């Protein structure tokens, strides 16, 4: 739902649950409270999914290899976790978000943008709405959410990060550049490690450096795409909050404990992932037109986590579907076409080109 600003000013909130998976575990198991809880990271190749704030004090963070987390935090309590429970909690949290605005854009299970534009007359000032939202989540789920509020999406997300843990940060239009410009340039949306290095080599250390640079200097460093980053650095972000069902993709994946070159085992993993994706599609009342197979090969070609070759294959269905059997069949065909010339380290099944189930054309017979 598109919400038009009454006075030309958008008000966007970003809600981000604090250490979500780990917090769910600590809530449900009182003996874990106050202890360094790490979800994921099991096995020789496991990756940390979430770390409690007690574990973060040791330097543990999400996406870190499990062996590194164990080295930093030998007293950490490692849990495999339960995606079923986390998804159930996510649905409860998103239901609460939806009470404050009909326009909620889910980014992941534990964070969302909430368009508060035009709600002041009904709900009051944005800061009060943010506090009410935080209070409702705490009282109804026993979990903490940090909230950022700003006129644009990117700064709302950065503000929620600044509010952690368990806080609220509001950035006004007048204070937008004062908040944004001192930040490292790597904090901008779209700036990953490689782009960050290129920007820093070109002399752009902060967001302010990029915002004030002549366009030709930015183009020299990054090409025309750099001009888009310059606009973000100046606080120019026209992207609107897109409701949850406007999700563009869904996927499930796993990293194997040891490289796999056994086709039947890979096909079993495909079936499991396809069924999980199909359930998410049905819950979201969506159908998928395109199936994506993701493979990360076992042989390391360069140092670091990016040294593994990543292969993706995709196919478009004649009719959109939310049937796990259809998704698994097509993904298995993509795997067979690839031919398995090398052992696989990671396998994922995803869908994109999503459409609302209600809009799909029904078969005539």
Q: Are residues 60 and 188 part of one domain?
A: no
Whether residue 297 is contained in a domain is answered as yes
Checking if the pLDDT of 5 tops 70, the result is: no
Reported as a single tens digit per residue, the pLDDT across 275-309 is: 999 988 887 778 898 999 999 988 766 555 556 78
Average pLDDT over residues 231-235: 93
Q: Are residues 225 and 300 part of one domain?
A: no
Identify any residues that bridge with 286 across adjacent strands, giving them in sequence order. 356
Average pLDDT over residues 159-165: 97
For position 228, which CATH number holds? Answer: 1.10.150.20
For position 284, which CATH number holds? Answer: 3.30.1490.100
Q: What are the CA-CA distances from residue 261 to residues 267, 360, 364 (Å)? A: 11, 38, 43
Q: Are residues 202 and 312 part of one domain?
A: no
Give the domain extent around 210: 181-233
Rounded CA-CA distance 313/294 in Å is 7
Q: Are residues 160 and 16 part of one domain?
A: yes
Structural tokens at position 80: 């495999």
Q: Are residues 205 and 109 part of one domain?
A: no
Do the Cβ atoms of 309 and 343 come closer than 8 Å? no
Q: Are residues 118 and 60 part of one domain?
A: yes
Do the Cβ atoms of 230 and 341 come closer than 8 Å? no
Q: What is the 3-state secondary structure (H, E, C) of the chain?
A: CCCCCCCCCCCEEEEEECCHHHHHHHHHCHHHCCCCEEEECCCCCCEEEEECHHHHCCCCCCCCEHHHHHHHCCCCEEECCCHHHHHHHHHHHHHHHHHHCCCEEEEECCEEEEECCCCHHHHCCHHHHHHHHHHHHHHHHCCCEEEEEECCHHHHHHHHHHHCCCCEEECCCCCHHHHHCCCEHHHCCCCCHHHHHHHHHCCCCEHHHHHHCCHHHHHHHHCCHHHHHHHHHCCCCCCCCCCHHHCCEEEEEEEEEEEECCHHHHHHHHHHHHHHHHHHHHHCCEEEEEEEEEEEEEEECCCCHHHEEEEEEEEEEEEEECCHHHHHHHHHHHHHHHCCCCCEEEEEEEEEEEEEHHHCCCCCC
Cα radius of gyration rounded to whole Å, the chain: 22
Is the pTM above the cut of 0.85? Answer: no
Whether residue 348 is contained in a domain is answered as yes
At residue 271, the pLDDT reads 93
Q: Are residues 187 and 146 part of one domain?
A: no
Is 95 labeled as catalytic in the residue annotation? no
Sign of CA dihedral 328, 335, 192, 83: positive
For position 47, which CATH number holds? Answer: 3.30.70.270
Q: Are residues 270 and 228 part of one domain?
A: no
Q: Are residues 119 and 211 part of one domain?
A: no
Checking if the pLDDT of 359 tops 60, the result is: no
* 164-170 long-range Cβ contacts below 8 angstroms, 24+ apart: 164/16, 164/18, 165/18, 165/19, 165/53, 166/18, 166/134, 168/127, 168/130, 168/131, 168/134, 170/126, 170/127, 170/130
In angstroms, how far is the first alpha carbon of the chain from the final one? 34
Whether residue 219 is contained in a domain is answered as yes
Whether residue 112 is contained in a domain is answered as yes
Q: Among 158, 174, 190, give the residue marking a domain's end.
A: 174
Whether residue 364 is contained in a domain is answered as no
Q: Are residues 228 and 253 part of one domain?
A: no
Average pLDDT over residues 4-29: 87
Q: Out of 25, 105, 111, 170, which one is annotated catalytic?
A: 111
Higher pLDDT, residue 13 or 106: 13
Reported as a single tens digit per residue, the pLDDT across 175-186 is: 999 999 999 999
Structural tokens at position 139: 């009282």
Q: Are residues 75 and 118 part of one domain?
A: yes
Checking if the pLDDT of 358 tops 50, the result is: yes
In total, how many domains does the chain have?
3
Q: Are residues 94 and 115 part of one domain?
A: yes
Whether residue 240 is contained in a domain is answered as no
Do the Cβ atoms of 245 and 292 come closer than 8 Å? no
At residue 355, the pLDDT reads 81
Kindly report the average pLDDT of the chain as a whole number. 88
At residue 319, the pLDDT reads 84
At residue 303, the pLDDT reads 55
Whether residue 148 is contained in a domain is answered as yes
Whether residue 242 is contained in a domain is answered as no
């Amino acid at each position: 739902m598109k919400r038009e600003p009454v006075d030309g000013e958008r008000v966007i909130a970003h809600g981000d649950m604090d250490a979500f998976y780990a917090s769910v575990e600590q809530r449900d198991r009182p003996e874990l409270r106050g202890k360094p809880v790490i979800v994921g990271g099991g096995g020789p190749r496991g990756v940390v999914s979430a770390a409690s704030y007690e574990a973060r004090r040791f330097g543990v963070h999400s996406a870190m290899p499990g062996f590194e987390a164990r080295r930093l935090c030998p007293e950490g309590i490692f849990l495999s976790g339960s995606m079923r429970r986390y998804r159930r909690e996510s649905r409860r949290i998103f239901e609460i978000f939806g009470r404050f605005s009909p326009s909620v854009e889910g980014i992941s299970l534990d964070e969302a943008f909430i368009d508060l534009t035009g709600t002041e007359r009904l709900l009051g000032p944005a800061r009060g709405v943010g506090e009410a939202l935080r209070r409702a989540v705490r009282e109804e789920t026993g979990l903490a959410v940090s909230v950022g509020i700003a006129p644009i999406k990117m700064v709302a997300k950065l503000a929620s990060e600044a509010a952690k843990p368990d806080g609220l940060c509001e950035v006004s239009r007048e204070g937008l550049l004062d908040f944004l410009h001192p930040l490292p340039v790597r904090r901008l949306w779209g700036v990953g490690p490689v782009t960050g290095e290129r920007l820093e080599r070109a002399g752009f250390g902060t967001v302010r450096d990029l915002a004030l640079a002549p366009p030709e200097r930015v183009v020299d460093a990054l090409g025309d795409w750099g001009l888009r980053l310059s606009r973000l650095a100046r606080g120019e972000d026209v992207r609107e909050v897109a409701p949850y069902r406007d999700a563009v993709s869904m996927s499930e994946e796993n990293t194997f404990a040891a490289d796999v070159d056994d086709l039947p085992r890979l096909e079993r993993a495909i079936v499991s992932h396809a069924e999980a994706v199909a359930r998410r599609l049905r819950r979201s009342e969506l159908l998928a037109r395109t199936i994506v197979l993701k493979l990360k090969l076992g042989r390391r070609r360069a140092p670091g986590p990016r040294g593994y070759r990543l292969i993706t294959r995709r196919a478009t269905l004649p009719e959109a579907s939310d049937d796990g059997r259809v998704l698994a069949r097509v993904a298995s065909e993509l795997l067979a076409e690839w031919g398995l010339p090398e052992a696989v380290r990671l396998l994922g099944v995803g869908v994109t080109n999503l459409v609302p189930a209600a809009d799909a054309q029904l078969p005539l017979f």
